[in-house]
Every structure is written in C-alpha cells, then in structure tokens.
Amino acid sequence: MARKAGRTPEETRRVLLEAAAVVFRERGLSASLDEIARRAGVSKGGLLYHFAAKEDLVRALANDVLDDLRAMVFAEIDPEDSAPGALARAYIRTCLAVTPDDEAAIRETVHLLAQLTVMPDVVELMRTDSQRWHDDLRADGMPDHVRTLVINAVDGASMSPFYGGALSEDDLNTLKRQLLRFTLHSELWDALSPDTAASSSH
C-alpha cells in the first residue's frame, strides 16, 4: 500500500503524535517506535517518513504539548477580567481543574512531560517555555511575592501526580479557592509579604 485512502499526510502526522503521547506516557521514552507506529496503524518505515529520527518525534511532541498547554491557559482567561492577575487566575483554573476529566487530562500531560525531560533537547525547550511563562506572568500586574507564591503552589500541586503524591479532591479545591482569592483581593497582598509585621491588621 501507499497513501492510505481518506487520510491526508497531515492527519497521519497527528495520529502519530497522539500515539506517541500515549505510548511515551505509559512506557516512558524508551518505548519503541514500532509500538508507536502500530498504535497509529502505520508501519515503522511510515513513521520514519514523517519523523526522520526518534529525536525529531520527541521534540515535535514536546513542542505540541507545551503549545497546547499555553493555548489552554490563554483560552481560560476571562475576557471580562482586566484586573491584575487575570492570567494567573486562568493558570490556576487550568492547572487545578477539579472536574475529574480535566484533572485527568492535566495529570496525563504533566506525566508525559516528565517522561520527555529525559532528553536534554526537551529540557532546553521547556526552559525556554518556562522563561516565557515567567515573562507573561510578570506582565500580569501582581507583585512579585504574590505571583511567585501562587504559581509555585500551582506548579507543586499539578506536578504532584508525577511522583505519586496526589492531593485529595478537597485539598485541591481548597487550594484553588485560596489561590484565586490571593490574586483577586489586593488588600491581602500586604499580609502575604514576608516583610510585613506579623499582625494582620490593615
């Protein structure tokens, strides 16, 4: 056979990337190209037509996942919300999803990314991406000490499944509301500062 009827090359590429995501997540980066190709319904040679080497496939996948994540967060921004911290709130809502489906999706994504970091090239990609998040969030208008606290708490919680330390649904929900509240009520920002006197009067 040559070109599959009813499947454009671009579609094949997508199917291959999706198969790679599943297989790498389940078996780690040492999973074979053969298994990925089989899952995509393509021969190993076919896979290698689209991605000349395994490294290319991994890089393309990492780029894809990182872009998707960014798009998800930006799509979650409330268009009515123009107060400082709007991006941070979208970040919180996306990464600390509470509906079981969304939560599972985020966990799977994080777990996949964790597997991909085995490749130094991917770490470089993630470093760049992370720097971009940092810049975007700085431009979001919250003071440094609030932003750093909130974002690191979100990151800690969303990475916890990767080492098996999943939070209970209650804890996750509480954390989410806490963090949203921190970003929304600027009168709290003083109380969150390390330099304020311990008493929380205003």
- Contacts with its own copies by CB under 8 A lie at 28-30, 113-115, 117-119, 123-124, 126-128, 130-131, 133-134, 144-145, 148-149, 151-157, 159-160, 162-165, 167, 171, 174-175, 177-179, 181, 184-185, 187-188, 190-195, 198-202
Q: Which residue has the tokens 């996750």?
A: 172
Minimum CB distance to its own copies smaller for 11 or for 124 = 124
How many Cβ atoms from other residues are within 10 Å of residue 58's Cβ? 21
Q: Which is nearer to its own copies, 9 or 156 (CB)?
A: 156
Nearer to its own copies, 42 or 172 (CB): 172
Report the site for DNA in 7-26 (rule: CB under 7 A).
Answer: 7-9, 12
Least CB distance from residue 40 to DNA, whole Å?
9
CB 37 within 8 A of CB 13: no
Q: Which CB atom, from 72 or from 129, has the smaller least distance to its own copies?
A: 129
99 phi and psi, to 5 degrees? -70, 135
Give CA–CA dist 18/20, Å, rounded: 5
Name which of DNA, its own copies, none residue 162 binds, using a CB cut-off of 5 to 8 Å depending on partner kind.
its own copies
Pairwise CA distance, residues 84 & 29, whole Å? 40
Size of the site for DNA (CB under 7 A): 27
Retrieve residue 94's tokens.
Answer: 């996306």
Q: Which two tokens stand for residue 159?
A: 């990475």
Contacting range for DNA; rule: CB under 7 A; set: 45-53, 67-75, 151-159, 177-185: 45-53
Q: CB of 15 within 8 A of CB of 42? A: yes
Nearest to 97 by CA among 176, 164, 166, 178: 176
Q: Which is nearer to its own copies, 53 or 123 (CB)?
A: 123
Among candidates 97, 94, 104, which has minimal Cα distance to 69?
A: 94
The residues binding DNA (CB under 7 A) are 1-5, 7-9, 12, 30-34, 37, 42-46, 48-50, 52-55
